[in-house]
């Protein structure tokens, strides 16, 4: 694993301008509706110039998904850490998930597309990462968190210069951290006796993730049916969570 590439400010600014333009296009047209040529036109650059900053379209998209994944990771960790009891931690996870989908819907959709099976993860590296690389990434995550808490625009927070495989590794590692936090909270709830001892943490994690993802990808006809009957999306989300809690308590 290579170290994070260091850039001078001018080059970092140009790279972030490309990412901003790409985000605008990906968020409005979807992955398949965007080409390197369209991104180049958006920033008034030649296509060949883009290759000085990114390997290909996939590399640019992964950088955007990585940015969204960092935000999601920060929100979930903050939400879970605020809770003392296991049920409070689980509620913190649910609230963070909902906040991310509402406040950062485009990043949420980009992450879902990344996880849709469209991309091949067979190149994911499982080798031990260099200590210098991991230290650099920790510094980056800490700085990102401070920038986010200080109210800095997400699009102005730079993304480290990584390869497509390195982005993939980081995105999946960040997601793994979230799933582990959820698993630990469920195990704690079982030990506290607030969740039945016969509940399988892994199956419950899968169920919760499927439900929450499904709520944010609800078919229009179902959403319309709920609205006609006076059930808001927020109320339905809360009710679903209560249904699941009753199943496992």
CATH class of 9-89+97-175: mainly alpha
Say if residues 176 and 69 touch (Cβ distance below 8 Å): no
Question: pLDDT digit string (tens) for 117-141?
Answer: 889 887 666 555 677 888 889 999 9
Cα–Cα distances (Å) from 108 to 51, 70, 174, in that order, read: 27, 11, 14
| Residue 12 banded pLDDT, cuts 50, 70, 90 | confident
Write down the domain spans for the chain.
9-89+97-175
pTM of the full structure:
0.90
Structure tokens at 42: 């958006």
Q: What are phi and psi of 161, to 5 degrees?
A: -85, 100
**pLDDT averaged over every residue in the chain:** 90
Could you give the 3-state DSSP secondary structure of residue 161? strand
Question: pLDDT digit string (tens) for 209-245?
Answer: 888 888 878 899 999 999 999 998 889 988 998 899 8
Q: To which residue do tokens 């991309």 refer? A: 119
């Amino acid at each position: 694993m290579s170290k994070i590439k260091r850039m001078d400010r001018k080059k970092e600014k140009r790279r972030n301008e490309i990412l901003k333009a790409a985000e605008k296009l990906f968020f409005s047209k979807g992955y398949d509706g965007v080409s390197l040529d369209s991104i180049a036109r958006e920033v008034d650059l030649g296509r060949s110039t883009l290759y000085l900053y990114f390997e290909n379209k996939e590399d640019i998209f992964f950088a955007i998904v990585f940015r969204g994944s960092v935000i999601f990771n920060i929100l979930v960790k903050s939400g879970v850490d605020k809770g003392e009891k296991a049920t409070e931690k689980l509620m913190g996870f649910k609230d963070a998930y909902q906040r991310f989908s509402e406040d950062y819907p485009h990043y949420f959709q980009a992450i879902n597309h990344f996880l849709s099976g469209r991309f091949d993860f067979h190149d994911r590296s499982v080798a031990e990462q260099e200590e210098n690389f991991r230290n650099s990434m920790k510094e980056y995550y800490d700085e990102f968190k401070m920038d986010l808490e200080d109210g800095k625009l997400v699009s102005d927070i730079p993304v480290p210069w990584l390869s497509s495989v390195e982005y993939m590794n980081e995105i999946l590692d960040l997601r793994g951290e979230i799933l582990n936090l959820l698993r630990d909270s469920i195990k704690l709830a079982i030990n506290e006796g607030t969740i039945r001892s016969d509940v399988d943490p892994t199956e419950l994690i899968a169920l919760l993730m499927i439900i929450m993802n499904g709520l944010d990808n609800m078919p229009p006809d179902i959403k319309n049916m709920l609205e006609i009957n006076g059930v808001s999306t927020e109320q339905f989300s809360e009710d679903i969570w209560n249904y699941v809690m009753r199943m496992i308590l």
